[in-house]
Structure 1
Amino acid sequence: MPEAKLTLTIPERTWPGEISRAHDDATIRILAAMTEPDAGVGLAEISAPSPAR
């Protein structure tokens, strides 16, 4: 099955940008996205290692 991995530069004022900068060990997978000129809806999966205790 083909697979592609992309590296993107995400603007700072978007939620994926805020999460990835605050938690650099997190992985964000965008599972679905629908956009309109003024809004959008998306489904994302976010995973990260458990914090050390």
Structure 2
Amino acid sequence: MHISLAELTAQLEDVESVLELEKAKAADIIPIAAQLLAPEKLALIKFLVSNLELV
């Protein structure tokens, strides 16, 4: 299976868009989680969200 650079770039942009949406959703959830979760679980969620970057 061969894929062109343009197709690969488009797929990467799609993945980046999904990650940005997921980060935005997580940012909305964190304040709610802060009220409901134990501090160590909240710290874990913040850590995971901060690492949703593409390498």
TM-score with structure 2 setting the length: 0.25
Higher-strand-fraction structure: 1
Structure possessing the higher relative contact order (Cα contacts under 8 Å, 6 or more residues apart)? 2
Larger fraction in helix: 2
Q: Which has the larger radius of gyration?
A: 2
